[in-house]
Amino acid sequence: MTNTVTDVDWQFGGLLLIHEQLKVNIEQALLNIQPQTLKKVARNAVKRIEACIQEDGGHFQHLL
């Protein structure tokens, strides 16, 4: 019995490579986020949470 690379092995190996590259791309993108962007996102999240609470979990888009 010989060890051969099957189509399934090749596809699985390719998926692992794609997965690793995706991880690298995401990590790089995260490193490129500016601190002021994170602050803006945090302020916006608080604003939305407060509006949601004000409306008892109902629609709140009209308040933003």
Rounded to whole angstroms, the Cα distance separating 45 from 39 reads: 10
Rounded to whole angstroms, the Cα distance separating 61 from 52 reads: 9
Instruction: Write out the E strands in the chain.
Output: none
Cα distances from 48 to residues 17, 36, 45, 51, in angstroms, run 38, 18, 5, 5
- Model pTM? 0.57
List the chain pLDDT tens, one digit each, 64 residues: 455 656 666 667 777 778 888 899 999 999 999 999 999 999 999 999 999 999 999 999 888 8
Rounded to whole angstroms, the Cα distance separating 16 from 9 reads: 11
